[in-house]
Structure 1
Amino acid sequence: MVRNYVRKSTIGSGYSQETLTIAVDLIKSGSLSTYRASKIYKIPKNTLADHVKGRRVTSLADCICCLEKWGFGLTRKEIIKIVADYVRVNNIKTQFKNGIPGEDWFLNFKRRHNLSLTTPQSVEFARKKNVDPFLIYDYFDLLEKTVKELGLDDKPSQIWNLKESSFCCDPSKTKIVGQKGYPSTRTTSGPGKQNTTVLMCCSAIGDKAPPLIIFKGKNVWDQWVAPPDTEFPNTTYAATSNGWMESAVFKNYFQKSFIKHLSDDRPVLVIYNGHATHLSVDVFKTAIENQITILKLPPHTSHLLQPLDLSVFKSLKTRWDAKLVEWQRKNVGVKIPKCIFSKLIGEIWTDTKPEIIINGFVKAGISPINRNVVPVELFDPTAIQRWKSRQAQKIADVSLPSTSSVSDIDH
């Protein structure tokens, strides 16, 4: 239905921004009283008073945008209910039917304030909470300090990132062509979705370390390993009771696979999240002995600061899905063997272009260092204001003369 709403009310349309500015200037200079200016320029006295005294009137649109930014966006029905309640409580006369705004009002409200109806992305509360300027910028301070102390400003080959991810054995991303108006299906090996954990590691210059594939089980069997000359060179395998990462498995990979892959150039910086399985005395001891510095990302910020999450895994998962579809067409109804899983993982990791990996480090603000990769709009407005105040205070403290210098001047 096409809506051509014509506004009938004249409230707020009797003056322009230019007229408002002139009236406010005349009141401030003492040439006119608020009452006289209101009569002459046909501007509500309250509006003039707010602008003269510098009071910022928070509009409904401002509130809606703030709530959306904080992760609590309002629906169309909620906004209409808020307006209806405000009209009722304040006994305001409107042309709303039964005091409730209609669809025409909402559409024009959206247009006037440049708003839109969108499907929100789900973000864990912990992630939303940790998008904090104090956490993010303090991390970049530490990153910059560490890179300078290690002398790695121009040595991206010695800066590494590692992260594990889950690879599903049932494709879900690859689209197919079918008849319009009819459902499409894909034949799989079974109703369940089996996932396998794979740890990837790469450098800011695009180098790739051997992956670690973790299967569910008590032991790693020979038939789980990819056929000879088909796996990524020196791929490491492990088995755990639930198929997830464990401290002993990570320690073994770090000591016997990752370090062996590194060149003789030292020092090395390794950046990863602070999952409990990545943190152990043995890992730290090994790192120190091999001139490796470990820098932990702030908690729940992988979606903003982890190179592998920002660029690499998306490309990997897309190509992984396509590989699965191709294999299932040739092996209808057959569950993918672990050795084939290992083979396909090796293929997509081998085919991953260095440019994709390098782009991940750029997006994460690691190489080159760029603390502005996280948009200011993602921060809580109150928190970013407090952070700016802290920075201003730091600058003021640095600029103050020391006690000894003041004493010298007096003498």
Structure 2
Amino acid sequence: MPRTYTHKKRGKTMNYDTKQLADALKAHQNGMSIREASKAYNIPKSTLADRASGRYEVNVTHGRPCAIPIEVEKKIVETVKVTAESGIGISRKQLLLRTNVLCQRIQVHTSYKNFHAGKNWWEGLKRRHGLTLRQPERLGSTRRLMMNREVVGKYFEALSNIITSSNLNDKPEFIWNCDETRKNFEHNPVKVVSGIGAKNVCGRTSSKSTNITIMACVNAAGKAVPPMFIVKGKTPRSLYSFNTQAAPPGTKWSYQEKCWMTNQIGEQWFDTVFLQNCGTHRPQLLILDGHSSHKSLAILQRAIGENIYILALPPHTTHHLQPLDKSVFGPFNKAYNSACSEFLQDP
């Protein structure tokens, strides 16, 4: 809850707007005295005198200015509203955390020393921009319940509206889908020929259980952007054990302590991989799942600025609706296991 004051605040609440103040100043310039204009337009005489003398600007209001510049604040609010309509709702806690990260990243100079977006800032943001907290519809917490006509119908309705409004009906090369998959060096051996009833049929695998995360993105026309590989490590030295030169042309490499896709890596992928390879045509559509690394505030704002629509798949439905899971990762996993088995069988 915002802080409460037990003592009575001094001063009066401003009960006039900028237009009234401007009209009063105009009347004073036309010959009306400060006192007469003050009574006629219900504005304190001292306030009108300060504006008439040029001591303060006309549009100055009472109270301290917003902690974050209003231009940055408007972009944050616009991003939140757009993403909520696209099925990527942001909670209050996520908004505060990502606002602080954004302010640090772009080095926003606030009017408060050591500013930190908290509950008081949220209360003011709600009043200034007409925001509120809404309880999302609860349609089930399991995949079986989420795969119903209502949820899937709303998703395809939103998809159809975006494609129609942005004239992408006959432009599959500008409709993209991205997702990540994790591969373990200890692969699943392929099936081998054996006699009926044979026991203990074994296949050679790697002794390492290290993972590597692959970020992939393909459009509806079948074209893929270069992948991004995320390996386990804390420093760039973790990449030295990989033959990075043998990767597909344009591949980006990154590292993370647990080999996870994070907000920072997701933003890096969007800026250095997707935007660099999706072409200059606008608008375009990017379909993704609801993972937090895909919907960071920086990515959503950058997408709005680049005129790229972001559409999230409904939660717990990717096993049926994720195009990459259906058409790319399945065959890729089989090819990966086959390649690993053949590699380990070579003398």
TM-score bucket of the superposed structures, by smaller chain? 0.5 to 0.7
Aligned to 1:194: 210
Distance, in Å, in 2 between the alignment partners of 1:237 and 1:297 is 26
Distance, in Å, in 1 between the alignment partners of 2:195 and 2:156 is 52
Could you give the per-residue CA deviations for residues 103-160 of structure 1, whole angstroms, max 9, x where no partner exists?
Answer: xxxxxxxxxxxxxxxxxxxxx9621121122211011111111101110000000000
Q: CA deviation at 1:189?
A: 3.2
1:185 maps to 2:176: no
Distance, in Å, in 2 between the alignment partners of 1:251 and 1:326 is 36
TM-score (norm 2): 0.56
Aligned to 1:134: 150
Aligned to 1:320: 336
Q: How does 1:66-81 map to 2 (within 5 A)?
A: none
Residues 220 and 239 of structure 1 are in contact (CA less than 8 Å); yes or no, is this contact kept in structure 2?
yes
Q: CA deviation at 1:181?
A: 2.4
3-state SS, counterpart of residue 304 of structure 1: helix
Q: CA deviation at 1:326?
A: 1.4
Aligned to 1:232: 248
Distance, in Å, in 1 between the alignment partners of 2:287 and 2:243 is 29
Amino acid aligned to 1:290: E
Q: CA deviation at 1:182?
A: 2.1
Aligned match of 1:162 in 151, 174, 178?
178
The change in CA–CA distance for 1:297 and 1:309 in structure 2 (over 3 A counts) is same
Aligned to 1:212: 228
Aligned match of 1:257 in 252, 257, 273?
273
Could you give the per-residue CA deviations for residues 151-177 of structure 1, whole angstroms, max 9, x where no partner exists?
Answer: 000000000000001112223251111
1:284 maps to 2:309: no
Distance, in Å, in 2 between the alignment partners of 1:227 and 1:239 is 13
Q: CA deviation at 1:200?
A: 0.8
Q: CA deviation at 1:193?
A: 3.5
Q: CA deviation at 1:219?
A: 2.1
The change in CA–CA distance for 1:277 and 1:252 in structure 2 (over 3 A counts) is same
Aligned to 1:274: 290
Q: How does 1:11-410 map to 2 (within 5 A)?
A: 126-183=142-199, 184-190=201-207, 193-221=209-237, 222-228=239-245, 230-330=246-346
Distance, in Å, in 2 between the alignment partners of 1:310 and 1:203 is 14
The change in CA–CA distance for 1:265 and 1:224 in structure 2 (over 3 A counts) is farther
Distance, in Å, in 2 between the alignment partners of 1:208 and 1:298 is 23
Amino acid aligned to 1:188: T
Give the aligned CA root-mean-square deviation in angstroms: 1.8
Distance, in Å, in 2 between the alignment partners of 1:127 and 1:325 is 33
3-state SS, counterpart of residue 207 of structure 1: coil
The change in CA–CA distance for 1:187 and 1:160 in structure 2 (over 3 A counts) is same
3-state SS, counterpart of residue 248 of structure 2: coil
Q: CA deviation at 1:330?
A: 3.0
Segments of structure 2 that go 5 or more residues without pairing to the other structure are 1-139
Aligned to 1:27: none
Residues 174 and 285 of structure 2 are in contact (CA less than 8 Å); yes or no, is this contact kept in structure 1?
yes
Distance, in Å, in 1 between the alignment partners of 2:281 and 2:241 is 34
Amino acid aligned to 2:264: A
More helix per residue: 1
Segments of structure 1 that go 5 or more residues without pairing to the other structure are 1-123, 332-411
